[in-house]
Structure 1
Amino acid sequence: MTFEVGVRAAFQASHALRGDFGPATRPHQHDYRLEVAVRGERLRADGTLVDIALLDQLLRGIVTELDGASLDALPAFRESNSTAEEVARHIAERCETSLRGEGLARLVVRVWESADAYAACERELG
């Protein structure tokens, strides 16, 4: 049996893609929605998979850094294109360090750049 717990947040950021992306190569803005979820097989003694407040606090800290930013100006995206996939990877890497040792198996980050399109990054934690 696998359990999953997740939190959501939203932020607004701008970027311009490099390469063959048509109009997306011009600076533009997204109202991103973000979902961070963790999975695991065992609940803690208190009946929870993880302290959801910890997960929420972690996510809020990341969102504070991204909200209102030009993604291309951030160190995390200087060497890579600021695609939704790269944003998801960046957020997953930031979360991974804090979540290791919590008895969790997997981390899933979804970054929605519109109501219809998202990218995800999934990482093993165990």
Structure 2
Amino acid sequence: MFSLTVCDHIMIAHSFRGAEFGPAQRLHGATFAVEAEFRAPQLDALHLLVDIGLAKQELRRALDPIDYRNLDAEPVFAGLNTTTEYLCHHIHGQLCAALKEGRLGPQSGNVTALKVLLRESPNAWAAYEAPVA
């Protein structure tokens, strides 16, 4: 299996509902390093998995609507706890849509799986990985 990873980062504010979250129930900020790993069993005729420049562009496109935002105020997240795990899933969906629409180049159709990883610190991170539906 071949893989290609692009990285970026976001800064967000949010709060959580539920006593399990302790002080994180209050509004707080987080900075995430974001990695998107595209996987395919084969490369195209030019030996590309996806266009790396387009992959970086589409990752940024997926992140722009949440970067420097209070996620509690964003309608797409209304009533949801925007945990690190959930944000991985959300970004995964955005990138899968980009793949389906061919926005990562003509070789996008070869991608069979995608992993999105958010690093909250050097000591804690979460990921969501699934086939490209």
Partners of 1:48 and 1:104 in 2: CA distance: 11
- The 3-state SS of whatever aligns with 1:21 is helix
Q: Write the distance in 1 (CA, Å) between the matches of 2:60 and 2:12.
A: 15
* 38-47 or 99-108, larger mean C-alpha shift: 99-108
Q: Say how many residue pairs are matched.
A: 125
The structural deviation recorded for 1:44 is 0.7
Q: CA deviation at 1:11?
A: 1.1
| 2:8 match | 9
Distance in 2, Cα, partners of 1:82 & 1:9: 19
Cα pair 1:30 1:114 within 8 Å, conserved: no
Matches of 2:94 and 2:40, distance apart in 1: 19
Q: Which residue of 2 aligns with 1:24?
A: 24
Matched, 1:121 2:104: no
CA deviation profile, 1:45-85 (whole Å, cap 9, x unmatched): 11111111121111111222221101122223213211001
Q: Percent identity over the alignment? A: 34
Separation of aligned partners in 1, 2:89 and 2:95: 10
Gap change, CA 1:123 and 1:75, over 3 Å in 2: farther
SS in structure 2 opposite 1:65?
A: coil
Q: Is the counterpart of residue 70 in structure 1 residue 70 in structure 2?
A: yes
Give TM-score scaled by structure 2 length: 0.88
| TM-score for both structures, normalised by structure 1 | 0.92
Name structure 1 gaps, 5 residues minimum. none
Q: CA-to-partner distance for each residue in 1:13-65, whole Å, 9 max, x for gaps?
A: 11101112111111100111100011111101111111111211111112222
Q: Does 1:54 align with 2:54?
A: yes
Aligned equivalents of 1:63, 1:97: Cα separation in 2: 14
Q: Which runs of 5+ in 2 are unaligned?
A: 101-107
CA distance in 1, matches of 2:77, 2:123: 24
